[in-house]
Amino acid sequence: MDRLYSTVASVLSPASPYARDIGHLFWITFWISMVILLFVSAFVIFNLVRFRDRGEGGLPPQTHGNTVVEVTWTVVPLVILIVLFVLTVQTMAAVSPSTKTTANALNVDVVAHQWWWEFRYPDGDVVTANELHIPVGRTIHLTLTSADVIHDFWVPELGRKMDAVPGHPNTMIIQADRPGTYLGTCAEYCGTDHAWMRIRVVAQTPDAYQAWLTAQAQPHAQPANAKQAIGRGLFVGLTCSSCHTIKGSGATASKDVGPDLTHLADRDTLAAGVIANTPENLRQWLADPNSIKPGSYMPDLHLSSQQLDALVAYLEEQP
Ligand code: CUA
């Protein structure tokens, strides 16, 4: 069982208008800094050589006060800082929600948890976890909160960062230019599994997205065989259903402690991006969650081999 360590996502490969704005600001700042670095370095080296000690002894001529030099080294940095300040404020405005950017936006509520992400689609009666499906070319307006501590939502190729704070909704926008899977992560230390709080944004064509949303709104398939029926019985009868909801199973967790598992089989990963979603991996996750994600709040229920098989058959809709 391999953990999915690779998360190559960079602000330098923007895939949205907002990430491009941030990238532009980065490069402008970078090149201004490089010019300053080169100028200062060259000036220091020139003076080290030009005014080196040639064995004449004594101190060089001492000078005091030079209005031109003092005004120059005050005004030039001031101008540079003003330019960077104005560009930063402009970029912040461009990449944040406004009446212009959210006019035709799709709304999704994001709830951060230790250590996974919950995505709620208010327009579609759909709740999912760790994988945010979006249509390409449309601005997505996210409203972020947290169920416990402060987390931070960050998918560098699609937009800015934003804190998810308990009891204080923050909003942000993302967008994807083209279909694909964009990786992100929690960007604010939030406890043991902070590093295993991954985000996958799956950008789809509008038609594919709509089909996905419609499918997600459906209840979980009814058990198709005896094994799946046993699995559903275990899911509802054991403590699984006090933390996890599965639409159509009769299990509606009173509080969303753990991810909604209605369409778990459709997700690429388990445990917020730690392992690929395969029946074998799910079986091991259920058998010993801490061997896969140390510190996770998913308990070890000490399930028997038959119980594991039945639960996997039901959750993955396997024959
Ligand atoms: Cu959640 Cu770091």
pTM assigned to the model: 0.88
pLDDT, tens digit, 9 for 90 and up, residues 248-299: 887 666 667 899 999 999 999 999 989 999 999 999 999 999 999 999 999 9
In a domain? residue 58: no
**Residue-range definition of the domain harbouring residue 300:** 226-315
Ligand 1 surroundings by CB, under 6 angstroms: 112, 115, 151, 186, 188-190, 194, 197
Mean pLDDT score, 148-172: 96
DSSP state of 255: S
In a domain? residue 221: no
In a domain? residue 99: yes
Ligand 1 centroid – CA 66 distance (Å) = 53
pLDDT, tens digit, 9 for 90 and up, residues 176-213: 999 999 999 999 999 999 999 999 999 999 999 999 99
Ligand 1 centroid – CA 114 distance (Å) = 7
The string of DSSP letters for 205-253 reads -HHHHHHHHHHHHSPPPPP-SHHHHHHHHHHHHSTHHHH--BTTTTB--
Atom of ligand 1 nearest to the CA of 191: 2
Q: What is the CATH number of the domain that holds 277?
A: 2.60.40.420
Of 147, 176, 211, the residue at which a domain comes to its end is: 211
Q: For residue 177, how far is the Cα from the chain centroid?
A: 17
Atom of ligand 1 nearest to the CA of 194: 2
Query: Is there a single domain that holds both residue 168 and residue 292?
Result: no
Query: Is there a single domain that holds both residue 201 and residue 270?
Result: no
In a domain? residue 298: yes
Residues 223 and 229 sit within 8 Å (Cβ to Cβ): yes
Residue 164 is inside which H or E element, if any?
strand 161-164
Higher pLDDT, 240 or 171: 171
Residues 263 and 128 sit within 8 Å (Cβ to Cβ): yes
Query: Is there a single domain that holds both residue 38 and residue 11?
Result: yes
Ligand 1 centroid – CA 296 distance (Å) = 13
Pair type for strands 198-204 and 131-135: parallel
Count of domains observed in the chain: 2
Of 211, 240, 260, the residue at which a domain comes to its end is: 211
Ligand 1 centroid – CA 314 distance (Å) = 30
pLDDT band at 313 (very low <50, low <70, confident <90, very high): very high
Indicate which residue's Cα is closest to atom 1 of ligand 1. Answer: 151
Residues 119 and 127 sit within 8 Å (Cβ to Cβ): yes
Residue 60: per-residue pLDDT:
79
